[in-house]
Amino acid sequence: MSRPIEDYALIGDTQTAALVGRDGSIDWLCLPRFDSGACFAALLGNPEHGRWKLAPSSRGPVMVKRRYRPDSLVLETEYTTAEGVVRVVDCMPPRDRTPDVIRLVEGVKGRVCMNMQLVMRFDYGSVVPWVTRETGELRAVAGPDALSLYTPVAVRGHHLTTVADFTVAEGQRIPFVLRWHPSHEPAPEPLDGVEAVADTEAWWKEWFAHCTYQGAWPEAVRTSLMTLKALTYAPTGGIVAAATTSLPERLGGMRNWDYRFCWLRDATFTLYALTLGGFREEAEAWRAWLMRSVAGDPSKLQIMYGVAGERRLTERTLPWLPGYAASKPVRTGNAAVDQFQLDVYGEVMDAIHQANRIGLSSNHRSWDVALVLLDFLESGWQQPDAGMWEVRGDLRHFTYSKVMAWVAFDRAVKAVKRYGLEGPVEHWREVRDRIHQEICESAYDPKLGAFTQAYGSGNLDASLLLLPLVGFVHPKDPRMVGTVRAIERELLDDGLLRRYHTHETDDGLPPGEGRFLACSFWLADNYVLQGRRDEAEALFERLLSLRNDVGLLAEEYDPLSKRQLGNYPQAFSHVGLINTAFNLERYHISPAIHRRENHVAEQEAPASP
Ligand SMILES: OC[C@H]1O[C@H](O[C@H]2O[C@H](CO)[C@@H](O)[C@H](O)[C@H]2O)[C@H](O)[C@@H](O)[C@@H]1O
């Protein structure tokens, strides 16, 4: 039986991440990178696919309370049993070498009997390692991977797992340190678990010192910013879309994808949110990552890359894993890598624009890349594409894609006019205006009184909510007011938005999925901008209420089963939360203080998407 997704908390070291269940079991951990094989894959299978459980052994009722230590990705899970109270502190120290997981068992009250079960299975639960014991160390080796466990507790082997039973008394602290290293290298030195937790906490607090958010939702916004930071890959500056693969968009379904890669779309959205929160270093690092990733022939831009800029992300299925809640197949890699998605050109141009706007040191390489992209886009914008939802059906003239082509030329014009970069500004202005005109003629349906998903389509799509957020149309333009009304009518279900109707829009997959959380945040943004503040706040509060006990959101939510769905934690959802919090705040202070350029209203546009 799979535990609800919202039962998991995240720990990570900005190179990879683990999911820790309320039951004390780490059921997901890929080592050494986000996209490496998992050594704990119970999330997508059973305990025998790898996990590390550390919890009271009491058979009686156990009360569980969790939190992150303030401003840090150090998780505390407190168990109250009939015997007493015990706290397990979990974290992964941000590293310069190999990854570690630290688990510190702290006796809070009484004497609590504890049990540990460590099931190490490399390559997504498929490889059982050789395990040897040396003084103070247990070592597991298979192929390229090696794990070493250091703990003062006596452990023993049991049916290809490692187990321990021990008691923790009030005031006692017992460390468990798990260190990964390449199997051909000597094992790393043991690490002081208590010090490592303190250092990790200090590292996150230091990072938070840069946070500038002063608004009404500090806990929610700070947790979301921390989640986004945890999804960055520190060595290269890449940013992954989520920490998992194949958590289903429908329980038991096949909409299960690998999100442990860097989508240009998701990464640029994440950057906006981080820079809104006061963090600039990540923007510099990501720009450098982008320049390396697209190097060679930038016109061969991919919509996503690996965390170090890898281009081949071949999609495979892992048939030995039964899947989360029997949702098969489990996939690694992502076939969307080969898709043509027009919007990413606009997103990259907008990211370059934002870098100029926040005064990042100028980078001539990025303008050279921009020129190549614009050159392609001059004719490329007329091609049909797979759209931001990455449909696996026929290519179409998606409205949002065309709007982002408009954004590309709009930001190019502004780069020349505002930031003194060189380019044929009058020509770009002409292309920009031509695209605007075509969209208004081909993507607006006067009978419906709304923009539509694609040219000539009668369907609605939540991505249209981004049009005013990127400055394409004024939020109070009657066409946009009509679009919001139509989206509310057609796509709002139990107060939350669908991306589109999966039975109407052929996305190449069997219909049925949850409510895509980012879309509901975009709706709240539109409410803010249309002056529907009470509705914006009510929707925002509803969305906040869907977070789990430690503030995390997956990609989607199912209002019927009241469960989170899809990959987790998902950058898109947390970006939405941060932007809406800022928009609500800014609107309150002054509706004119916005982030992006608004071509129509000639004012800065709001935090988006
Ligand atoms: O819905 C089908 C597609 O779903 C995934 O894409 C979604 O996630 C991406 C990463 O967050 C996001 O950029 C995209 O907008 C979403 O639609 C999946 O990765 C695709 O392979 C799949 O076709």
Quote the tokens at residue 104: 């510190």
Ligand 1 pocket test, candidate residues 227, 247, 257, most atoms within 8 A of CB = 257
Measured from the CA of 263, which atom of ligand 1 is nearest? 13
Say whether both 577 and 562 belong to one domain.
yes
At residue 607 the predicted structure's pLDDT band, cuts being 50, 70 and 90, is: low
CB 558 within 8 A of CB 218: no
Q: Report d(CA 556, CA 256) in Å as an integer.
A: 12
Say whether both 368 and 448 belong to one domain.
yes
Q: Side chain identity at 325, as an amino acid letter?
A: A
At residue 588 the predicted structure's pLDDT band, cuts being 50, 70 and 90, is: low
Ligand 1 pocket test, candidate residues 239, 390, 398, 401, most atoms within 8 A of CB = 390
Query: Residue 483 contacts by C-beta under 8 Å, 6 or more apart in sequence?
Result: 449, 450, 451, 460, 464, 465, 467
Query: Residue 581 contacts by C-beta under 8 Å, 6 or more apart in sequence?
Result: 213, 215, 216, 217, 220, 221, 540
Nearest to 75 by CA among 110, 47, 42, 103: 103
Boundary (domain end) residue, out of 171, 188, 207: 207
Say whether both 136 and 228 belong to one domain.
no
Of all protein residues, the one whose alpha carbon is nearest to atom 7 of ligand 1 is: 389
Distance 263 CA to ligand 1 centre (A): 9
Measured from the CA of 334, which atom of ligand 1 is nearest? 21
Q: Is the dihedral of CA 367, 377, 260, 596 positive or negative?
A: positive
> Range of 391's domain?
210-605
Q: Side chain identity at 589, as an amino acid letter?
A: I
Say whether both 247 and 198 belong to one domain.
no
Boundary (domain end) residue, out of 166, 182, 207: 207
**What is the per-residue pLDDT for 413?**
97
User: Could you read off the pLDDT of 425-460 as tens digits, one per residue?
Assistant: 999 999 999 999 999 999 999 999 999 999 999 999
User: Could you read off the pLDDT of 538-566 as tens digits, one per residue?
Assistant: 999 999 999 999 999 999 999 999 999 99
Quote the tokens at residue 402: 């065309």
Distance 473 CA to ligand 1 centre (A): 26
CATH number at residue 18: 2.70.98.50
Of all protein residues, the one whose alpha carbon is nearest to atom 13 of ligand 1 is: 266
Distance 572 CA to ligand 1 centre (A): 11
Residue 158 pairs in a beta bridge with 161
Is residue 393 scored above 90 in pLDDT?
no
What DSSP string runs through 3-23? PPGGGEEEEE-SS-EEEEETT
**What is the per-residue pLDDT for 502?**
85
User: Could you read off the pLDDT of 250-291 as tens digits, one per residue?
Assistant: 999 999 999 999 999 999 999 899 999 999 999 889 999 999
Q: Which of 77-81, 180-184, 602-606 has the lowest mean pLDDT?
A: 602-606
CA max distance for the chain: 77
Lookup result for tokens 């965390």: 307
User: Could you read off the pLDDT of 330-371 as tens digits, one per residue?
Assistant: 999 999 999 999 999 999 999 999 888 888 876 778 899 999
Distance 305 CA to ligand 1 centre (A): 14
Q: Report d(CA 571, CA 267) in Å as an integer.
A: 8
**What is the per-residue pLDDT for 359?**
84
Say whether both 193 and 282 belong to one domain.
no
Phi and psi angles of residue 576, each rounded to the nearest 5 degrees, phi first:
-55, -45
Boundary (domain end) residue, out of 192, 207, 222: 207
Mean pLDDT value across the chain: 94
Measured from the CA of 571, which atom of ligand 1 is nearest? 11
Distance 258 CA to ligand 1 centre (A): 9
Is residue 601 scored above 60 in pLDDT?
no
Of all protein residues, the one whose alpha carbon is nearest to atom 1 of ligand 1 is: 389
Say whether both 228 and 287 belong to one domain.
yes
Quote the tokens at residue 181: 């290293």
**What is the per-residue pLDDT for 604?**
41
Quote the tokens at residue 562: 């009241």
Of all protein residues, the one whose alpha carbon is nearest to atom 10 of ligand 1 is: 241
What DSSP string runs through 272-323? HHHHHTT--HHHHHHHHHHHHHH-S-GGG--SEE-TT-------EE-TT---
User: Could you read off the pLDDT of 458-502 as tens digits, one per residue?
Assistant: 999 999 999 999 999 999 999 999 999 999 999 999 999 999 998
What DSSP string runs through 13-55? -SS-EEEEETTSEEEEEESSSTTSPEEE-GGGS-GGG-EEEEE
**What is the per-residue pLDDT for 609?**
62
Measured from the CA of 303, which atom of ligand 1 is nearest? 13
Of all protein residues, the one whose alpha carbon is nearest to atom 23 of ligand 1 is: 390
3-state secondary structure 59-126: CCCCEEEEEECCCCCCEEEEEECCCEEEEEEEECCCCCCCCEEEEEEEEEEEEEEEEEEEECCHHHHC
Say whether both 270 and 359 belong to one domain.
yes
Measured from the CA of 315, which atom of ligand 1 is nearest? 21
Ligand 1 pocket test, candidate residues 244, 339, 389, most atoms within 8 A of CB = 389
Q: What is the mean pLDDT of residues 104-117?
A: 98
User: Could you read off the pLDDT of 13-68 as tens digits, one per residue?
Assistant: 999 999 999 999 999 999 999 999 999 999 999 999 999 999 999 888 899 999 99
Instruction: Specify the higher pLDDT residue, 134 or 400.
Output: 400
Share of the chain above pLDDT 90, in %: 87
Say whether both 412 and 462 belong to one domain.
yes
CATH number at residue 474: 1.50.10.10
At residue 608 the predicted structure's pLDDT band, cuts being 50, 70 and 90, is: low
Of all protein residues, the one whose alpha carbon is nearest to atom 22 of ligand 1 is: 390
Distance 586 CA to ligand 1 centre (A): 30
Distance 387 CA to ligand 1 centre (A): 10
Measured from the CA of 336, which atom of ligand 1 is nearest? 21
Quote the tokens at residue 47: 């305990």
Distance 62 CA to ligand 1 centre (A): 38
Say whether both 323 and 179 belong to one domain.
no
Say whether both 284 and 193 belong to one domain.
no
User: Could you read off the pLDDT of 169-218 as tens digits, one per residue?
Assistant: 999 999 999 999 999 999 998 999 999 999 999 999 999 999 999 999 99
Total structural domains within the chain? 2
The beta strand positions in 170-222, using DSSP E, are 173-182
Share of the chain above pLDDT 70, in %: 96
Distance 598 CA to ligand 1 centre (A): 27
Distance 514 CA to ligand 1 centre (A): 13
Distance 249 CA to ligand 1 centre (A): 10
Say whether both 183 and 251 belong to one domain.
no
| Residues having CB within 6 Å of any atom of ligand 1 | 241, 257, 259, 263, 265-266, 334, 336, 388-390, 392, 572
At residue 295 the predicted structure's pLDDT band, cuts being 50, 70 and 90, is: confident
At residue 599 the predicted structure's pLDDT band, cuts being 50, 70 and 90, is: very low
Say whether both 275 and 179 belong to one domain.
no
Residue 112 pairs in a beta bridge with 168
At residue 594 the predicted structure's pLDDT band, cuts being 50, 70 and 90, is: very low
Distance 46 CA to ligand 1 centre (A): 26
Predicted complex ipTM exceeds 0.85: yes
Measured from the CA of 572, which atom of ligand 1 is nearest? 11
Nearest to 511 by CA among 498, 493, 520: 498
At residue 593 the predicted structure's pLDDT band, cuts being 50, 70 and 90, is: very low
Distance 422 CA to ligand 1 centre (A): 35
Packed helices 264-276 and 281-294: angle between N→C axes, nearest 10 degrees: 160
Q: What are the helix (H) ranges across 381-503?
A: 399-419, 425-442, 478-491
Instruction: Specify the higher pLDDT residue, 398 or 299.
Output: 398
Distance 390 CA to ligand 1 centre (A): 6
> ∠ CA 100-106-109 to the nearest 5 degrees?
165
